[in-house]
């Protein structure tokens, strides 16, 4: 019998000075049995960086042909496709044709460098593609904040992020791998 997803609840207060977005989002995250706390928290980081009332979590690991997070307009057209981890270059090219913007938040230490070296030439040709590397120390520290019920704050200013709960703060500085050209 297949294992079921574990449900996590997060109240995420976002203060994004760079985008002028200030809101609290009540989120439900389904963590697939094969997903780690680290991956789930990088998904939450991606949500915070792109926070919008219309941004939603996809089925993630249980569906390879779906974004980890997606933003659709009122007509249902895909405006933003977000993947976390080290997605396949072919699926990112396909996503680039389906969405106005595609963003990858890559994590995994040295594996990110290898993934980017292998896929850089093909992915940099996509005008609507951006990729960011999450430092290994930061993604692992974010995993330490994971609880079944979370009260989190995220502050974004000048490209720097601070994630915190009642007792800990994790500073995150992303490395830009590719920036969209639209």
Q: What is the pLDDT of residues 18-66, one digit of tens each?
A: 999 999 999 999 998 889 999 999 999 999 999 999 999 987 555 567 8
**Residue 42 burial (CB < 10 Å; 0-12/13-18/19+)?**
buried
- Structural domain spans, the chain: 6-178
Q: Are 172 and 31 in contact (CB under 8 A)?
A: no
pTM for this prediction = 0.94
Q: How many Å apart are CA 75 and CA 72, to the nearest integer?
A: 8
| Residues 6+ positions from 99 with CB-CB distance below 8 Å | 67, 70, 78, 79, 80, 81, 128
Question: DSSP letter at 61?
Answer: G
pLDDT for the residue 181:
85
Q: Are 143 and 163 in contact (CB under 8 A)?
A: no
CATH number, span 6-178: 3.10.640.10
Q: Which residues of the chain have pLDDT under 70?
A: 1-2, 60-64, 182
Q: Are 32 and 7 in contact (CB under 8 A)?
A: no
């Amino acid at each position: 019998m297949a294992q079921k997803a574990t449900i996590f609840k997060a109240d995420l207060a976002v203060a994004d000075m760079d985008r002028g977005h200030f809101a609290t989002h009540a989120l439900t995250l389904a963590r697939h049995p094969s997903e780690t706390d680290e991956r789930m928290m990088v998904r939450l980081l991606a949500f915070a960086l792109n926070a919008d009332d219309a941004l939603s979590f996809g089925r993630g690991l249980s569906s390879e042909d779906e974004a980890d997070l997606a933003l659709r307009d009122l007509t249902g057209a895909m405006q933003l496709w977000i993947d976390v981890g080290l997605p396949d270059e072919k699926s990112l090219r396909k996503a680039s044709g389906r969405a106005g913007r595609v963003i990858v938040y890559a994590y995994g230490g040295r594996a990110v460098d290898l993934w980017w070296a292998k896929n850089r030439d093909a992915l940099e040709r996509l005008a609507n593609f951006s990729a960011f590397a999450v430092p290994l120390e930061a993604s692992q520290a974010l995993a330490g904040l994971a609880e079944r019920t979370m009260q989190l704050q995220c502050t974004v200013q000048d490209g720097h992020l601070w994630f915190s709960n009642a007792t800990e703060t994790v500073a995150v500085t992303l490395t830009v791998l590719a920036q969209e050209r639209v």
